[in-house]
Amino acid sequence: MAAYVHVPFCTVRCGYCDFNTYTSAELRGVTRQSFIDDLCSEIQFSAGVMTDSQIPVRALSSIFFGGGTPTLLEPAAFARILDDLRSVHGIETGAEITIEANPDTVTPTVLQDLASAGVTRVSFGMQSAVPRVLALLDRSHDATRMPEVVEAARAAGLSTSVDLIYGTPTETIDEWMCSVDAALALGTDHISAYSLIVEEGTAMARRISRGELPDVDDDTHAEMYDRADEAFAAAGLEWYEVSNWSVPGKESRHNQAYWRSDDWWGYGPGAHSHIGGVRWWNAKHPAAYAERLAGGESPALGREILDDDQRHFERILLQSRVRAGIDLAELGESGRHEVAGLIADGLVEGAAAIAGRLVMTRRGRLLADAVVRRITD
């Protein structure tokens, strides 16, 4: 059992972001303190839901505070939230407790306080080491602070991860590799590298539609991924999911819970949950979320129940993306017949297939969606 806690606050909205986040000007009657109260109300509300639904209580093995910018809250807030989660679910000894952080929202003291509150891991939104690229992404932090904050996190006893984004319009291969090298120089346990997807309705999408920025180039994205994967491997970081690399043994347990289709409870505005093949999602706006809780209602707005075929398809979709791959016996007959062609096309590792598992090559990871289509159609 895992828990995700969504903190929707940001100081500014980045031009590429379509996450469920809000600046102060976009919130009506919602403060950070009232949000914490609402969040703790939902955690306590979930205890009754589990009892009424006969969901067995299981201690949490991982907790992830995402956003938004969770570190805009005071460290004491996380101690309170963790106490409530512990009272409802229990928390395993040695559980992974991660918080996302913008580099400009933490200090050595804040990081020490987060560790004292129970946080064990911090994921920094580095995105790029190049000021010009950070400006294109509307990121507010100073890239030169990354070594300082990563070292401060380590001094506080926290595991560290950094997120990178590649393929920002006009970003060059050399600029991208500058960011890769800078991330590796930090000596972090874990690196996530995500291809920029320009989502409809974002400020960046509008700039592209007006011709102010060029559109995303797929070939450049592919070269950036190849170059980064080579650099990460040379530095001793192993890929364990298409967009994630780590020191062996430092994989994100929370991320792995998603890719295994484990159960998780999502708390906060817009958070999604998945338990026993049932998926539900909360009201997105913090004010609407608060109003439902204040009225004694569930903050959930909708749900779906996955049938056996949907669950099987999702398992193939998710498991095929990880380094361990998926047992060929889990594929249908037509999917197994595709494996030889996938090997010939350089998309699947031949040796792994002979051993009975489908594992993507680097080229296969770049074309993961196409691989999944071929083994599930």
Q: How confident is the model at residue 141 (pLDDT cuts 50, 70, 90)?
A: confident
Q: How confident is the model at residue 356 (pLDDT cuts 50, 70, 90)?
A: very high
Between the alpha carbon of residue 3 and those of residues 62, 153, 298, 320, the distances in Å are 6, 23, 17, 24
Which residues neighbour 51 within 8 Å (Cβ) at sequence distance 6 or greater?
none
Structure tokens, 301: 């707005």
pLDDT of residue 109 exceeding 90, the answer is yes
Averaged pLDDT, 65-91: 96
Q: So what's the pLDDT on residue 362?
A: 95
Q: What is the pLDDT of residues 197-226, one digit of tens each?
A: 888 888 888 999 999 999 888 899 999 999
pLDDT of residue 40 exceeding 80, the answer is yes
Residues 169 and 331: their CA atoms lie apart, in Å, by: 38
Structure tokens, 267: 């708390």
**CB burial class (10 A; 0-12, 13-18, 19+) of residue 342?**
buried
Q: So what's the pLDDT on residue 19?
A: 84
Q: So what's the pLDDT on residue 283?
A: 97
pLDDT of residue 229 exceeding 90, the answer is yes
Q: So what's the pLDDT on residue 328?
A: 96
Structure tokens, 256: 């792995």
Q: How confident is the model at residue 84 (pLDDT cuts 50, 70, 90)?
A: very high
* Own/partner long-range contacts of 209-217 (Cβ < 8 Å, ≥24 apart): 213/136, 213/169, 213/170, 214/169, 214/170, 215/169, 216/167, 216/169, 217/167
Least confident residue range of 115-119, 173-177, 215-219, 340-344: 215-219
pLDDT of residue 377 exceeding 90, the answer is no
Q: Please, what are the domains in the chain?
A: 2-259 (3.20.20.70), 309-376 (no CATH)
Q: So what's the pLDDT on residue 25?
A: 73
Q: How confident is the model at residue 240 (pLDDT cuts 50, 70, 90)?
A: very high
Averaged pLDDT, 19-36: 86
Q: So what's the pLDDT on residue 158?
A: 98
Residues 30 and 173: their CA atoms lie apart, in Å, by: 42
Q: How confident is the model at residue 29 (pLDDT cuts 50, 70, 90)?
A: confident
Percent share of the chain, pLDDT over 90: 87
Averaged pLDDT, 135-149: 91
In which order are the strands placed within the sheet that holds 272-275? 238-241, 244-246, 190-195, 159-166, 121-127, 91-101, 60-67, 2-7, 264-267, 272-275, 278-282, 300-305
Q: What is the pLDDT of residues 308-333, one digit of tens each?
A: 999 999 999 999 999 999 999 999 99
Length of the chain: 377
Q: What is the pLDDT of residues 264-293, one digit of tens each?
A: 999 999 999 999 889 999 999 999 999 999
Q: So what's the pLDDT on residue 217?
A: 85
